[in-house]
Structures are given as structure tokens and as C-alpha cells.
């Protein structure tokens, strides 16, 4: 079994990264009976408080059972590390049905210091062997290797900083949720280009799995931007197996949605070649 690790990323805030990541996780676990881990890499902790109650988060946070603690441990090598992966993972999360079996969460934390800025310096703070991009991988890889999850879904902050790169470091692919307007789609090329560069450095593909158009209104601008994105994508020979399917997603959406039905049948295959990739599929929810 291969674990699909998928980052949900856009440089623009408020475009539906968290909502899409959480909804896809709930759908995969609830409807497709997949084992799913959602990692909240965003200090805004929105995915965390969507999936668990705030009181539970406060307990976890006090005990240092958050992904932020994993990074703090690296930033403070003179202190004994307190992050423990098993204690930090919350099982059976979601507000749907009081929790979904096989849906797990690695929560985030509001961070008093900017981990993104500090993390590149860890190798200078007595941590000479520590690589800033490898912190999350070092903690999670043993669990991924023992095939604990079918999917790891990573809710990224709206930046391409070191924390986001820690997520991409373990990702096999990425999805770009975007409102189909000019501002939200502005950074897409930069994201694709940047991740392509990272994948090249890592000498393995990080597949561009698709664009999810969110908050779609039938206005002229949205119609035009969607048409433009489709036109770009139709020229690509890369087709990673996502397709459009119209149906209700979960209780999160009140109206019928278009969603990523192809995720469960996705192969790891060579959809990402060692050439410049553009996101190939457009899905709407
Ligand atoms: N597909 C959608 N349809 C309608 N509303 C949506 C959709 N996706 C997200 N929203 C709404 O848009 C708002 C922002 O969504 P969300 O928090 O998921 O964005 P984000 O990209 O994760 O933001 P941030 O960059 O701040 O983390 C929320 O109020 C959410 O309910
Ligand atoms: Mg978010």
C-alpha cells in the first residue's frame, strides 16, 4: 500500500484550503473507509478547531501535543524534547457523527514566535545535523512506512515558507484550492514553479494533482477565470486521475458539490514527469 500525502496549498488566504482539506479527509474516511491523517500546519489552527472542540485543543496545546511543539523542540535543542507523535495524534475526529473512524488529526497551535522565520536557523543552534525541511518527515516517516494511513492531507499556511516546505517534503502531490478570481489565481504559477524546483532537489516527483475552484459564483469574472484555467489544463498531457463528479460532499456543504472523486483510485504512478508540470484538473466544490 502506498500512502498518498497531499498538500493543500495557495499563497492567498481565505480561498478554501482548510475547508477543502478537511472535507476531502472526511469524505475519504467516512465514505471510502480510508485511513486518513489531517496535518494542520497553519498556526491559525482552523483545520484543528474544525475537527476537534476548542477545549480539547486547549488541553492538547497545554501538554505540548501539537505540531508546533515538534518545531519548538528543534528550535530549543538544549531542552529535552517533549513532542511525542502518538500523544499528538487525535483519533476519530470530526463534528460529523461525533467523530469518524480512521480520521486522525495532528493539531496545530497558535504560535507566539514565528516558526517559519526561526526554523531555517536550527542548524546553527547546536542542532548541527538537523535539516530545517526534514523536521516533519523525521517524526512521521516511521508511521507512514508502517502503512498506518492511506492518505495524509496537509493543510498549509498561505505561504511557501519553511513550515509549508516541511509538508511538501513528505508530499507525493498537491492540490491548489482557489477562488476563480484574479487575486486568488495570481500565485499559481509561482507555487507550481517553486514545488517543481523542490521536487527536483529531492529527486522525486511531487505531482500537481489539480486545482479546486471554490466559492464559485456564476459571474463573468469567475466564468472567464475558470475558462482560462481549463484552457491551460487541456493542453497538458498529464492526467493524474482526478475527475469531476457532481454529488453532495458531506454535511459541510449545503448544496450539491463537485468534488474530487478520483482521489481513491489515484495511482502513485509516474504522472509527474521530470518536466515542468501545470495543474491538470479542475474540480469545483
Ligand atoms: N467551496 C466553498 N464554498 C463556499 N464557501 C467556502 C468554500 N470553501 C471555503 N469556504 C468558506 O470560505 C471561508 C474561508 O475558507 P478556508 O478557511 O477554508 O480558507 P483558507 O484558504 O484555508 O484560509 P486561510 O488562508 O486563512 O487558512 C470559510 O468561511 C469557508 O467556510
Ligand atoms: Mg486555512
81-133, pLDDT tens digit by residue?
A: 899 999 999 999 999 888 999 999 999 998 766 777 777 777 666 665 668 89
Residue 174, phi then psi, degrees to nearest 5:
-145, 155
N-terminal to C-terminal alpha carbon distance within the chain: 28
Our answer on whether the CB atom of 257 is closer than 6 Å to any ligand 1 atom is: no
**Cβ atoms within 10 Å of 255's Cβ, excluding its own:** 6
pTM of this prediction? 0.87
Q: What is the pLDDT of residue 268?
A: 34
218-229: burial string, b at 16+ Cβ within 10 Å, e else: eeeebeebbeeb
Ligand 1 contact via 44 beta carbon (within 6 Å): yes
In the chain, where the domains are located = 4-284
Q: What is residue 128's predicted lDDT score, i.e. its pLDDT?
A: 58
pLDDT of 251 above 50: no
- Among candidates 145, 192, 177, which has minimal Cα distance to 285? 177
Between 52-61, 181-190, 229-238, the lowest mean confidence (pLDDT) is in: 229-238
Q: Which ligand is nearest to the CA of 255?
A: 1
Cell of 10: 495557495
CA distance 5 to 11: 19
Cell of 165: 516546505
* pLDDT for position 107: 98
**CA 15 to ligand 1: nearest atom:** 21
Place of cell 507525493: 172
For residue 200, how far is its CA from the centre of ligand 2 (angstroms)? 27
Q: Which residues surround ligand 2, an ion (CB under 5 A)?
A: 17-18, 46
Q: Are 43 and 109 in contact (CB under 8 A)?
A: yes
Q: How far apart are CA 33 and CA 261, in angstroms?
A: 14
Q: How confident is the model at residue 243 (pLDDT cuts 50, 70, 90)?
A: very low
pLDDT greater than 50 at residue 285: no
Question: Confidence band (pLDDT; 50, 70, 90) for 284?
Answer: very low
For the residues 229-242, what does the mean pLDDT come to? 50
- Is the pLDDT assigned to residue 177 strictly greater than 90? no
Cα–Cα dist 178/196, whole Å: 19
Q: Is 17 in the pocket of ligand 1 (CB under 6 A)?
A: yes
Ligand 1 test: best mutation among 14, 17, 213, 217, most atoms within 8 Å of CB?
A: 14
Return the pLDDT at 127: 61
User: Whose Cα sits closest to atom 29 in ligand 1?
Assistant: 14
CB of residue 13 inside a 6 A radius of ligand 1: yes
What's the pLDDT score for residue 144? 95
- Return phi, psi of residue 236, to 5°: -95, 140
**Cβ(156)–Cβ(167) below 8 Å:** yes
Q: Mean pLDDT over all residues of the chain? A: 80
**38-91 pLDDT, tens digit each:** 999 999 999 999 999 999 999 999 999 999 999 989 888 888 889 999 999 999
Q: Is the shortest distance between the CB of 262 and ligand 1 below 6 Å?
A: no
Q: Among the atoms of ligand 1, which is closest to the Cα of residue 10?
A: 21
Q: For residue 210, what pLDDT is reported?
A: 78
Distance between CA atoms of 110 and 16, rounded to whole angstroms? 19
pLDDT band per the 50, 70, 90 thresholds, residue 250: very low
Asked if 3 and 145 count as a contact pair (C-beta separation under 8 A), the reply is no
Architecture per CATH, domain 4-284, reads as 3-Layer(aba) Sandwich (3.40)
Amino acid at each position: 500500500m502506498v500512502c498518498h500525502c497531499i498538500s493543500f496549498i495557495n499563497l492567498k488566504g481565505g480561498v478554501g484550503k482548510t475547508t477543502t482539506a478537511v472535507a476531502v479527509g472526511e469524505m475519504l474516511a467516512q465514505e471510502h473507509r480510508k485511513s486518513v491523517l489531517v496535518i494542520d500546519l497553519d498556526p491559525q489552527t482552523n483545520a484543528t478547531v474544525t475537527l476537534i472542540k476548542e477545549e480539547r485543543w486547549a488541553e492538547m496545546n497545554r501538554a505540548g501535543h501539537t505540531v508546533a511543539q515538534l518545531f519548538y523542540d528543534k528550535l530549543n535543542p538544549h531542552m529535552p524534547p517533549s513532542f511525542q507523535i502518538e500523544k499528538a495524534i487525535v483519533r476519530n475526529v470530526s463534528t460529523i457523527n461525533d467523530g469518524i473512524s480512521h480520521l486522525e488529526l495532528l493539531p496545530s497551535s497558535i504560535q507566539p514566535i514565528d516558526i517559519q522565520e526561526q526554523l531555517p536557523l536550527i542548524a546553527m543552534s547546536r542542532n548541527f545535523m538537523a535539516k530545517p525541511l526534514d523536521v516533519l518527515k523525521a517524526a512521521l516517516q516511521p508511521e507512514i512506512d508502517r502503512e498506518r494511513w492511506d492518505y495524509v492531507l496537509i493543510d498549509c499556511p498561505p505561504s511557501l515558507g519553511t513550515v509549508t516546505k516541511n509538508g511538501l517534503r513528505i508530499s507525493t502531490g498537491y492540490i491548489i484550492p482557489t477562488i476563480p478570481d484574479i487575486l486568488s489565481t495570481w500565485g499559481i504559477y509561482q507555487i507550481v514553479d517553486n514545488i517543481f524546483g523542490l521536487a527536483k532537489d529531492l529527486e522525486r516527483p511531487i505531482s500537481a494533482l489539480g486545482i479546486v475552484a471554490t466559492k464559485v459564483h456564476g459571474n463573468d469574472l469567475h466564468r472567464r477565470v475558470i475558462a482560462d484555467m481549463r484552457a491551460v489544463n487541456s493542453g497538458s498531457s498529464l492526467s493524474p486521475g482526478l475527475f469531476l463528479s457532481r454529488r453532495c460532499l458531506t454535511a459541510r456543504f449545503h448544496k450539491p458539490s463537485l468534488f474530487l472523486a478520483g482521489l481513491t483510485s489515484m495511482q502513485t504512478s509516474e504522472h509527474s514527469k521530470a518536466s515542468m508540470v501545470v495543474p491538470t484538473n479542475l474540480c469545483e466544490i
